[in-house]
Amino acid sequence: MKKTIVVLTAIIAMAALPYGVAFGQVGQAGKVPSWAVDDGWRNAHYPPSEWFVGYSSDVVRAGAKLSDVQKRVETEAKQKLAEGITVRIVSETKTKTSSVQVKDGKNLNESIKKNYGQDIVSYTNAEIAKVELETYHDQPNNKIYALAKVKKSDLAAYYASFIERSQQQAENNLKLAKQFGESDRKRSAQENIAEAYKNLGECGKYTDQLNAVDAATAKRLEDKGAAIKSDIAAYETLLNESASIFVGGREVLKGEEVSYVIPGIQALLSEHGCRIADRRDESNFILTVDVKDSQKSAAGPFFYVYASVKADVRNVKTDKIDSKLNFTSKGGDMNEEAAGRVAFKEAANELWKQIREKTELCK
């Protein structure tokens, strides 16, 4: 299965946090916190096995606006956190294209923006992963520090919950599809099957991220998703087995019983995937047709005959009529008998058109 690498969206969500939150507030005087100046302290308190961390600092130079420097330092911390996660994801998935793009740290943000911008925008959510951002302004040295950090377990929980929610939606849509299928509402069932596949497809957006943080959970959910997909495919195959239809009724032209509409509609139904049943008790649906010539007219040497059609489709399983169809067809020819044949054959074509539009047959 083709993998798609998308930068962890938790990073983007941090942009929603106000600047200057957590440990130090800009302008606050006092002892510089250990996280700002001690690499060993950061590694001890935020071990790489449990945390993703991004750190940055810079001096507020003469003439620079404090808020601008703070914003830039915080952004750099976020980008470094993003880069760490991206490299981890790439190492897990071994995707060459993304590997090349993350090797150049300077262009990392631009590469992400160019290649994954649409995905990132669609995932942005302020509650994505409980990312924490700490800033501190060391007034005596006029230096700003920023630390962006996110716990791997928080990321795993978020991505797992998203995948589980999508999988549950897929299972719900499969249940609905089966309910529609049991009542022979095939078109509605197929729509729900399509939605179920769509639900599972959405899980893929987060599979790589979860795998980079919690491979065991990712594997468990991938296996569950594969099982759901197999269930959907199995039911889709069952659903697509053609329905059986018994066609019966009576056709009368000029007082005589004829056979134009019924064989015509049987041929059209077969052509479009329905099975024609030889017996009523072996069918899923019964199409009953009543056709008779209702009037005639002439225009010079040309004759016109009108065929009045009444038909209904009965669902054998529910023993209810799903659709009633009533219409009139017109046929013309140089003699009355030939015009009648044309009208009845046109009735078969119109009957198929209305069956296709108004019933679940052959869907």
Digit-coded pLDDT (tens) for 209-267: 788 778 899 999 999 999 999 999 999 888 777 678 999 999 999 999 999 999 999 99
Q: 145 with 54: CB under 8 angstroms?
A: no
* Alpha helices by DSSP H, 240-316: 261-271
Residues whose CB falls within 8 Å of the CB of residue 13, separated by 6 or more in sequence, listed in order:
124, 125, 126, 127, 128, 129, 131
The C-alpha atoms of residue 112 and residue 75 are separated, in whole angstroms, by 14
Confidence at residue 102, expressed as pLDDT on a 0 to 100 scale: 40
* DSSP assignment letter at 18: P
How much is the pLDDT for 363? 60
The predicted pLDDT at position 19 comes to 32
Tokens of 219: 């594997």
pLDDT of residue 275: 83
pLDDT at 184: 66
pLDDT of residue 262: 96
* Joined tokens for residue 208: 């790589």
All residue ranges of the chain with pLDDT < 70 are: 1-30, 84-130, 184, 242, 362-363
Q: Return d(Cα 86, Cα 75) in angstroms, integer.
A: 16
Residue 172 has what pLDDT?
Answer: 95
- The residues pairing with 247 across neighbouring beta strands, listed in sequence order, are 287
Global confidence as pTM: 0.52
Q: What is the pLDDT of residue 24?
A: 40
